[in-house]
């Protein structure tokens, strides 16, 4: 197994990071830093030097380092490093990238708050939980949040939908209050439900364009006005987000929404269809060869004129939707109303912020019939994971909550599950007889995401083959704009999931959206069932289901594929059948 100098250097600096997070004193990790730098600067492949038996001549190589390089070059891995990676999660190491965060603070945040990723760090900061830690105040907390924001931007230059939608909804309310305005909607990628957003596009139907334009440009939190026309303005907000507004006449609402919703690829196809009928299409509608103008106040009317059914925005990517709309075979996409429950959430039994009853009330408020509590299992010790004893204790509390809700006359069931850890060697973190006692079992990978393809795939397959495991949670482990997911063999994974009927989660957390839309579509093609669940850590988190639904809709998912659209009886019967 060939390892480049750069790869070896990265391993040693990672070792130093992880040791320091564990509390190792800097002078003891210094030899790893030194060898990392020396390897990176070495003019020859260290592998050649090793073959010549001259490793000891490389500056910074003592006995301990010698043996480690030797093991790495002989076997392609290092036992010591593997152990360290299992002990300190990758997400914790990621936190070091935030300016202002060193190993001491990261350790403090990890061990006291159970925070294990940049997104959890962000959530803790936003909830004001960092400022209570030793030697930290509100100012440090804000600095950390700003540091995370800048890391996220650097990743793609696009913002997560979860950071844009709340701004869009608030701005829409403001703009709707302008005099003369009849309708305001966001269009573009946000309306199409994409996971990240380049810029935000608004369309306003109004009889008084000047009024809505001046209101738009006078909102708070604007950093710069990029354009100020009579019917078109652009601004950049303080958080870096660009927002465009178009004012149009109410009579052309349908054509304008169609045009500004995009995608560009979809619009090109629609324009071609118009051209075949000797019509030209723009944001104001259709124009015939004799210059007659056709206006459309709804999108339905425009698509119908061109011989198509109305196409849900999430499908408008030129991935077969045009043909389906022409032949009347568009899928009946899943909606919010199809969901009867949420199958992933945490409570105070592990790293959640609310108790079981509070989470249940949250589910009831959303009109659900059931929720599944999936607290972490024991090996994630810092997230206060469940031991078998604590699983049984939690069952008592869940039973009591169910009795209380039934006593109130509510038809609602709290189910007991677990998010059981798939350990770095593929072992499942709770014994089979324990898993058998639970209503549904979800298994997830959280550690050692950087394992090579075969190894990490085998871990997931091991979970899929376990007859007690029903759901594979956030299968890739990616965090949008933050870290890549594992290098899984997706085809093998989907075939196995279909064969053993393990449902794959679309995790609705806007930082995860995992499975992503491409994988979700392929999984369904291969016969897999899905879940769409929030991974909520407090009742408000249950509302994030909308982001998961967007992914599912963009993946052409219909309700029957998704197990949390099923009635409770069907769901439990499915979980009980062991494939
Ligand atoms: P984004 O902003 O990168 O997340 O993606 P979109 O799809 O929101 O793209 P954007 O903001 O550039 O444009 C909004 C929609 O306007 C786009 O989806 C299609 C439509 N559109 C129609 N004609 C054009 C054109 O000539 N240029 C661009 N850029 N967009 C056009
Ligand atoms: Ca846009
Ligand atoms: Ca735009
Ligand atoms: Zn998880």
Average pLDDT estimate for 325-352: 97
Looking at the CA of 196, which ligand is closest?
1
**Which residue's alpha carbon is nearest to atom 31 within ligand 1?**
264
The reported pLDDT for the residue numbered 240 is: 83
**CA 124 – ligand 2 centroid, Å:** 29
Two domains, one topology: 96-156 and 336-576:
no
The reported pLDDT for the residue numbered 380 is: 65
- pLDDT band for 547, please (50, 70, 90 cuts): very high
Q: What is the pLDDT of residues 161-181, one digit of tens each?
A: 999 999 999 999 999 999 999
Q: What is the pLDDT of residues 95-136, one digit of tens each?
A: 998 977 989 999 999 999 999 999 999 999 999 999 999 889
The response to whether residue 196 sits with its C-beta less than 6 Å from ligand 1 reads: no
The response to whether residue 65 sits with its C-beta less than 6 Å from ligand 1 reads: no
Looking at the CA of 262, which ligand is closest?
1
Q: CA–CA separation, 506 vs 513, rounded Å?
A: 6
**Which residue's alpha carbon is nearest to atom 8 within ligand 1?**
188
* CA-262 nearest atom, ligand 1: 18
Is residue 536 within 8 Å of residue 180, measured between CB atoms?
no
Tell me the CATH class for 159-248: alpha beta
Q: Which stretches of 312-452 are DSSP H helices? A: 321-326, 356-365, 388-407, 432-436
Is residue 347 within 8 Å of residue 356, measured between CB atoms?
yes
Q: CA–CA separation, 490 vs 487, rounded Å?
A: 9
- pLDDT band for 70, please (50, 70, 90 cuts): very high
214 Cβ contact partners less than 8 Å away, ≥ 6 residues apart: none
Closest CA to 376 of 543, 578, 535: 535
Q: CA–CA separation, 579 vs 467, rounded Å?
A: 6
Closest CA to 365 of 531, 538, 162, 514: 538
* CA-244 nearest atom, ligand 1: 11
Q: Specify the CATH architecture of the domain 1-88.
A: Orthogonal Bundle (1.10)
**Which residue's alpha carbon is nearest to atom 1 within ligand 1?**
198
Based on its alpha-carbon atoms, the radius of gyration of the chain, rounded to whole angstroms, reads: 27
pLDDT at 445 over 60: yes
The response to whether residue 140 sits with its C-beta less than 6 Å from ligand 1 reads: no
The response to whether residue 262 sits with its C-beta less than 6 Å from ligand 1 reads: yes
The reported pLDDT for the residue numbered 34 is: 87
In the structure, ligand 2 is a single-atom ion and the residues with CB under 5 Å from it are: 188-189, 199, 201
Burial of 57 (0-12, 13-18, 19+ CB in 10 A): exposed
Q: Does domain 336-576 have CATH number 3.20.20.80?
A: no
Mean predicted lDDT score pLDDT of the chain? 94
The response to whether residue 260 sits with its C-beta less than 6 Å from ligand 1 reads: yes
The reported pLDDT for the residue numbered 135 is: 87
Structural domain boundaries in the chain: 1-88, 96-156, 159-248, 251-330, 336-576
Spell out the SS3 assignment of 474-501: CCCCCECCCECCCCCCHHHHHHHHHHCC
The response to whether residue 188 sits with its C-beta less than 6 Å from ligand 1 reads: yes
**What are the structure tokens assigned to 170, written together?**
């608030």
Q: CA–CA separation, 238 vs 222, rounded Å?
A: 6
Q: What is the pLDDT of residues 244-282, one digit of tens each?
A: 999 999 999 999 999 999 999 999 999 999 999 999 999
The reported pLDDT for the residue numbered 317 is: 97
| Strand ranges (E), 485-548 | 503-507, 530-533
The response to whether residue 259 sits with its C-beta less than 6 Å from ligand 1 reads: yes
**CA 301 – ligand 4 centroid, Å:** 44
DSSP string covering 50-89: HHTT-GGGSTT--HHHHHHHHHHHHHSS-HHHHHHHHHS-
The response to whether residue 180 sits with its C-beta less than 6 Å from ligand 1 reads: no
**CA 365 – ligand 1 centroid, Å:** 37
Before 263, cis peptide (omega within 30)?
Answer: yes
Looking at the CA of 442, which ligand is closest?
4
166 Cβ contact partners less than 8 Å away, ≥ 6 residues apart: none
- pLDDT band for 579, please (50, 70, 90 cuts): low
The response to whether residue 358 sits with its C-beta less than 6 Å from ligand 1 reads: no
Q: Specify the CATH architecture of the domain 96-156.
A: Orthogonal Bundle (1.10)
pLDDT at 234 over 70: yes
In the structure, ligand 3 is a single-atom ion and the residues with CB under 5 Å from it are: 199, 201, 244
| Strand ranges (E), 91-169 | 159-160
Q: Does domain 251-330 have CATH number 3.40.630.30?
A: no
* CA-196 nearest atom, ligand 1: 4
- Global model pTM greater than 0.85: no
């Amino acid at each position: 197994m060939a390892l480049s100098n750069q790869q070896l250097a990265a391993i040693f600096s990672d070792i130093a990071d992880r040791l320091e997070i564990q509390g190792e004193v800097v002078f003891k990790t210094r030899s790893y830093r030194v060898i990392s730098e020396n390897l990176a600067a070495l003019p020859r492949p260290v592998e050649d030097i090793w073959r010549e038996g001259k490793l000891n001549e490389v500056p910074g190589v003592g006995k301990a380092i010698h043996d480690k390089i030797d093991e790495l070059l002989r076997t392609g891995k290092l036992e010591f490093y593997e152990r360290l990676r299992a002990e300190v999660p990758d997400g914790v190491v990621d936190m070091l990238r935030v300016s202002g965060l060193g190993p001491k603070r990261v350790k403090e945040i990890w061990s006291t708050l159970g925070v294990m990723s940049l997104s959890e760090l962000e959530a803790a900061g936003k909830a004001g939980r960092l400022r209570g830690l030793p030697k930290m105040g509100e100012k440090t907390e804000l600095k950390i949040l700003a540091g995370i924001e800048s890391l996220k931007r650097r990743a793609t230059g696009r913002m997560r939908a979860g950071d844009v939608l709340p701004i869009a909804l608030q701005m829409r309310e403001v703009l709707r209050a302008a005099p003369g305005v009849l309708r305001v909607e966001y269009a573009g990628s946000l309306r199409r439900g994409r996971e990240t957003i380049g810029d935000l596009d608004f369309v306003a139907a109004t009889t008084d364009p000047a009024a809505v334009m001046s209101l738009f440009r006078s909102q708070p939190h604007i950093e710069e006005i990029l354009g100020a026309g009579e019917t078109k303005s652009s601004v950049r907000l303080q958080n870096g987000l660009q927002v465009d507004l178009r004012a149009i006449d109410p009579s052309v609402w349908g054509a304008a929404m169609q045009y500004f919703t995009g995608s560009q690829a979809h619009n090109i196809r629609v324009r071609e269809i118009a051209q075949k009928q000797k019509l030209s299409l723009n944001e104001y509608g259709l124009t015939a060869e004799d210059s007659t103008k056709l206006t459309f106040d709804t999108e339905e009317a425009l698509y119908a004129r061109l011989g198509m059914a109305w196409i849900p925005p999430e499908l408008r990517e030129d991935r077969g939707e045009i043909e389906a709309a022409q032949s009347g075979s568009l899928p009946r996409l899943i909606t919010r109303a199809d969901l009867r429950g949420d199958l992933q959430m945490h409570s105070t039994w592990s790293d959640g912020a609310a108790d079981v009853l509070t989470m249940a009330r949250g589910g009831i408020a959303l009109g659900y019939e059931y929720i599944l509590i999936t607290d972490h299992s024991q090996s994630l010790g810092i997230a206060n994971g469940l031991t078998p004893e604590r699983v049984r204790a939690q069952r008592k509390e869940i039973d009591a909550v169910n009795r209380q809700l039934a006593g109130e006359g509510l038809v609602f069931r709290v189910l007991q599950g677990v998010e059981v850890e798939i350990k770095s060697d593929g072992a499942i973190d709770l014994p089979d007889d324990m898993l058998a006692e639970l209503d549904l079992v979800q298994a997830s990978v959280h550690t050692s995401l950087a394992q090579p393809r075969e190894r990490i795939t085998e871990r997931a397959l091991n979970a899929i083959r376990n007859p007690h495991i029903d759901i594979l949670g956030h299968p890739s482990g990616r965090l949008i704009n933050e870290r890549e997911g594992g290098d899984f063999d997706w085809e093998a994974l989907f075939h196995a999931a279909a064969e053993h009927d393990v449902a794959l989660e679309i995790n609705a957390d806007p930082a995860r959206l995992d499975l992503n839309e491409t994988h979700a579509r392929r999984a369904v093609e291969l016969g897999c069932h899905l879940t769409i669940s929030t991974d909520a850590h407090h009742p408000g988190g249950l509302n994030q289901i909308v982001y998961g639904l967007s992914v599912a809709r963009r993946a052409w998912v219909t309700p029957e594929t998704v197990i949390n659209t099923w009635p409770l009886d069907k769901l439990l019967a499915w979980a009980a059948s062991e494939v």
